[in-house]
Amino acid sequence: MKILLVAATYQEIEPFIKKYAPKFNADELLKVGKHDIKIMITGVGMVATAYALGKTLAQENFDLALNVGIAGSFYRNIKLGQLVEVREDILSELGAEDDEEFISLEQLEMGEVEFRASEKIFLKDNLRKVTAITVNTVHGNEDSIEEIRDRINPTIETMEGAAFFYACEEAQVEALQIRCISNYVEKRNRENWNLVLAVNNLNEWLINNLKNI
Ligand SMILES: O=C(O)c1cccc(C(=O)CC[C@H]2O[C@@H](n3cnc4c(=O)[nH]cnc43)[C@H](O)[C@@H]2O)c1
């Protein structure tokens, strides 16, 4: 398969890049097992992700796009460093406020806010399947966390996932998303984040499993 491997930052997939592409060049096609892999670093957030994917997917065909990165978990029964597969991802901020109520873009009948992973290509290993939200502002306030739990009850959050699924759906490219938990969604405390563990586990998974998809 020809696979587009998509991450927001170089750091999130640095160990994988160092193993397979020590002289990293974004135009290069890497051979990993039987697959041809192209790596795309989009930059953090939905705008950067949608632009980068829109541009590339209009010019080149892929059998699969795989979004990988770190994420925050709303649930403490998911361990820091645990891998999850996002099956559904929601643009939770897209809509309108009506005083205390939030009206989603879908409720406004102005577009979709929920996007899903590929129903055709499946991973062989059994990662926990989760619902994610994609945000511009990382939750770090107890009231806003309670509000989003009441409204959507997501399992994890990222800053790119739903934009990634959206761009792939528009370009009719099969899409999967794997995240490794670096932190819990809580009142902001960067000291509680374990980026090293999350990046190491994510890259170990990539190195061991990408060839088997
Ligand atoms: O220090 C901060 O407050 C801060 C503000 C914005 C972004 C960051 C990141 O380090 C995020 C980078 C990257 O990681 C993903 N991520 C990881 N944990 C979370 C989270 O709890 N909520 C949302 N996104 C998260 C995200 O996809 C970014 O690409 C730090």
DSSP class of residue 10? G
- Coil vs helix vs strand at 180: strand
pLDDT given for residue 125 in this prediction:
80
CA gap 2, 121 in Å, rounded? 13
What residues contact residue 16 under an 8 Å CB cut-off, 6+ apart? Answer: 5, 203, 206, 207
Pocket of ligand 1 (CB under 6 A): 8, 44, 69-72, 135, 138, 157-160, 182-183, 185, 188, 190
How many angstroms separate the alpha carbon of residue 200 from the centre of ligand 1?
Answer: 17
Our mutation pick for probing the ligand 1 site, out of 13, 70, 160, counting the most ligand atoms within 8 A of Cβ, is 70
For the packed helices 161-171 and 46-59, what is the interaxial angle rounded to 10 degrees?
Answer: 20
CA gap 21, 14 in Å, rounded? 10
Contact between 3 and 37 under an 8 Å Cβ cutoff? The reply is: yes
In 3D, which of 210, 208, 147 has the Cα closest to residue 1? Answer: 210
Our mutation pick for probing the ligand 1 site, out of 159, 178, 199, counting the most ligand atoms within 8 A of Cβ, is 159
ipTM of the shown complex:
0.94
Q: How much is the pTM?
A: 0.97
Please, what are the domains in the chain?
2-212 (3.40.50.1580)
What averages of pLDDT result for each successive group of 10 residues across the chain (213 residues)?
A: 98 97 92 96 98 98 98 98 98 97 97 98 92 98 98 98 98 98 97 98 97 91
pLDDT given for residue 124 in this prediction:
84
pLDDT given for residue 126 in this prediction:
87
Q: What angle do CA 186, 192, 199 make, to 5 degrees?
A: 110
Instruction: Say how many C-beta atoms besides its own lie within 10 A of residue 39's C-beta.
Output: 22
Nearest CA to ligand 1 atom 1: 190
Nearest CA to ligand 1 atom 20: 72
